[in-house]
A and B are shown apart, each in its own frame.
Chain A
Amino acid sequence: MNPRNVGEIEDADGVGTCGNPVCGDLMTFYIKIHPQTDDLDKARISEIRFKTFGCGAAIAVASMASEMAKGKSLSEVAAMSRDDVANMLDGLPPIKMHCSNIGVQAIQEAVKDYLQQIGRDDLARRIKGCPKKEH
């Protein structure tokens, strides 16, 4: 088990967390944005790190989602879905799809956090982020 991009970014431009320990899975993503603009097609994720409390599937999901989001523009990240991650992992057991497959949403939360910090709440609202009901 060698997950990629594990860790934190101290001066992150955005931080996003999805899940909770009651559900059994919790993920926090840290992102750096370059260039720092509110143009979603130009701003890209230049660096990404995560930490996770969760089962083996959750760790795999977080690692894969971080690899997939790295270098992508924010509009591309906004269009990513949990199915993309599951497909890249060659599928996940059905029971893991709901609880463990929250990597994409957590990265989108980090993007929302970035947009809010630069004063673009309007753009942040359009990005999905964490599922409403997590359990």
Chain B
Amino acid sequence: MRNKERRVYLDNNATTPTDPRIIEKMLPYFHEISANPSSIHRAGRQARDAVEEAREKLSRLVNCRTEETYFTSGGTEADNMAIKGTVFAQNERNKIITSEIEHHAVLTTCEYMTKFGYEIIKVPVDKHGIVDLDFLSRSVDEKTLLVSIMHANNEVGTIEPVNEIARIAHRHGAIFHTDAVQTVGKIPIDIDDLEIDMLSLSGHKFYGPKGIGALIVRRGTRFDPLHHGGHHERNKRAGTENVPGIVGLGKACEIAVTEITGEEKRLQVLRDNLWAGITKDIKEVLLNGHPEKRLAGTLNLSVRYIEGESMLLNLDMQGICASSGSACTSGSLEASHVLLAMGVPHDLAHGSLRFSMGRFNRDEDIDYVIKVFPEIVRKLRAISPLYKNNLSKH
């Protein structure tokens, strides 16, 4: 029944295993080179150099200037900093526009801003998860401070037309922020070309360590800090720098710059093979997300008549790590807000499953899932009252 030997990790959108090359690069910064980068002694200067070297690598990955980068504790802090920071820096505009499918780091922060008199508008999405640009155009006006819409969705992988969104925001002088936690290091990003004002990223989503991320802020964009204290990060983010984390993030960026294109193609093959293998053996499986404009490593699907968490538990017993948009896995009683916003019916949202592939997955992993998954579906369908009802109709 159980397979304790095998472990297939297909939950890379949740977090990625840290690349051993990155761990190796980080290790000296815990002990040998552990001084405070703000110290003026030689050891401190060594730590400072490491931070600045990482900053350059990050700048290269997204094509920004080094003075436009602010290291944070991760994606959530970067999102908070972008939204609250722009709000605190002004008092002329009172409207924030976001989308219905944002990560909770953006959604909950935006909702909190209503407490300070801000109007929040959530742009709806189509059935593939692409934001409604007409709705956005009608919503942005001269009172709009910020438009915050994600680059790619973490659950379904749909990639948003951020350049068009940026242009719509700029028409009325609004700032455009994008949560790019799922895209940085996975698809090439040039914030100049895309006309992005603020961009959030997280180290552990692209093989760096947890606890490190960054907010990129284009020069001339007004924002106040969240953390007040020392002069770190040019007075915008007080607190002693997480040097090992920053070094790790820098290395993650360096690796991504050279490997990004080949890796994107490789992951797409794995993803499409998995989809082909699953749909060959299992009937009535539906794809969630955009068929083409989608992250190479993300496969989100709904299996009719059965529930996601029970699939996850059965996959886990076979050593396979995945995730689901079922209410049972959310910690609340609601199914995925992303799938519901896309118009996916409740039962199919509960029956959704996300496989997200990454750098350390190989063909064998996909073959293994294709081998064990149909039996899990067969077993759960056999005990489902919905499946019986369907058969009696035919």
Q: What is A's interface to B at a CB cutoff of 8 Å? A: 1-3, 6-8, 17, 21-28, 50-59, 95-96, 98-100, 135
Which of chain A's residues have a CB closer than 8 A to the CB of B310?
A: 1, 54-56, 58-59
A75–B340 CA distance with the chains assembled, in angstroms: 42
Digitize B325-358: 1 where CB-to-A-CB distance is under 8 Å, 0 elsewhere: 0111101110100000000001100100000000
The dominant DSSP class at the B interface is helix
Shortest CB-to-CB span from A103 to chain B, Å, is 13
Of B307, B308, B317, B382, which one neighbours A1 at CB under 8 angstroms? B317
Among all A-B residue pairs, the 5 with the closest Cβ atoms: A55-B328, A21-B347, A55-B309, A51-B385, A22-B346
Which of chain A's residues have a CB closer than 8 A to the CB of B350?
A: 21, 24
Which of chain B's residues have a CB closer than 8 A to the CB of A3?
A: 383
Q: Are A22 and B313 neighbours in the complex by a CB distance under 8 Å?
A: no
A27–B388 CA distance with the chains assembled, in angstroms: 12
Which of chain B's residues have a CB closer than 8 A to the CB of A26?
A: 385-386
Shortest CB-to-CB span from B1 to chain A, Å, is 8
A124–B346 CA distance with the chains assembled, in angstroms: 32
Which of chain B's residues have a CB closer than 8 A to the CB of A22?
A: 346-347
Which of chain B's residues have a CB closer than 8 A to the CB of A2?
A: 1
A55–B314 CA distance with the chains assembled, in angstroms: 11
A105–B331 CA distance with the chains assembled, in angstroms: 24
Of B314, B327, B384, which one neighbours A52 at CB under 8 angstroms? B384
Which of chain B's residues have a CB closer than 8 A to the CB of A58?
A: 307, 310
Q: Are B388 and A95 neighbours in the complex by a CB distance under 8 Å?
A: no
Residue among B327, B328, B347 with most chain A CB within 10 A: B328
B168 on interface, CB distance cutoff 8 Å: no
Which of chain A's residues have a CB closer than 8 A to the CB of B328?
A: 24, 54-57, 96, 100
Shortest CB-to-CB span from A24 to chain B, Å, is 4
B305 on interface, CB distance cutoff 8 Å: yes
Known interface pairs A24-B350, A59-B310; A51-B333 also in contact (CB < 8 Å):
no
Which of chain A's residues have a CB closer than 8 A to the CB of B335?
A: 24
Q: Are A8 and B388 neighbours in the complex by a CB distance under 8 Å?
A: yes
Shortest CB-to-CB span from A12 to chain B, Å, is 13
Q: Are A28 and B327 neighbours in the complex by a CB distance under 8 Å?
A: no
Known interface pairs A54-B307, A95-B333; A1-B386 also in contact (CB < 8 Å):
no
Shortest CB-to-CB span from B256 to chain A, Å, is 37
Q: Are B333 and A23 neighbours in the complex by a CB distance under 8 Å?
A: yes
Which of chain B's residues have a CB closer than 8 A to the CB of A98?
A: 333
Q: Are B327 and A56 neighbours in the complex by a CB distance under 8 Å?
A: no
Q: Are B383 and A6 neighbours in the complex by a CB distance under 8 Å?
A: yes
Residue among A17, A27, A55, A95 with most chain B CB within 10 A: A55
Known interface pairs A24-B327, A56-B310, A59-B310; A135-B383 also in contact (CB < 8 Å):
no
Q: Are B313 and A56 neighbours in the complex by a CB distance under 8 Å?
A: yes
A57–B309 CA distance with the chains assembled, in angstroms: 9
B322 on interface, CB distance cutoff 8 Å: no
Known interface pairs A21-B350, A22-B347, A28-B385; A53-B306 also in contact (CB < 8 Å):
yes
Shortest CB-to-CB span from B344 to chain A, Å, is 12
**21 A-B interface contacts by CB (under 8 A):** A1-B310, A1-B317, A2-B1, A6-B382, A21-B347, A22-B346, A24-B307, A24-B326, A24-B333, A27-B385, A50-B383, A54-B307, A54-B310, A55-B309, A56-B313, A56-B328, A58-B310, A59-B383, A95-B332, A98-B333, A100-B328
A23–B346 CA distance with the chains assembled, in angstroms: 8
Shortest CB-to-CB span from B339 to chain A, Å, is 12
A21–B353 CA distance with the chains assembled, in angstroms: 16
Shortest CB-to-CB span from B335 to chain A, Å, is 7
Contacts A53-B306, A55-B309, A95-B332 supplied; 8 other A-B pairs, CB < 8 Å:
A7-B383, A50-B383, A51-B383, A53-B347, A54-B307, A56-B313, A59-B310, A135-B333
A2–B310 CA distance with the chains assembled, in angstroms: 12
Which of chain B's residues have a CB closer than 8 A to the CB of A51?
A: 383-385, 388
A58–B326 CA distance with the chains assembled, in angstroms: 13
Closest to B349 in A: A24
Residue among B309, B317, B329, B332 with most chain A CB within 10 A: B309
Residue among B309, B346, B350, B385 with most chain A CB within 10 A: B385
A27–B307 CA distance with the chains assembled, in angstroms: 12
Closest to A6 in B: B383
Which of chain A's residues have a CB closer than 8 A to the CB of B383?
A: 3, 6-7, 50-52, 59
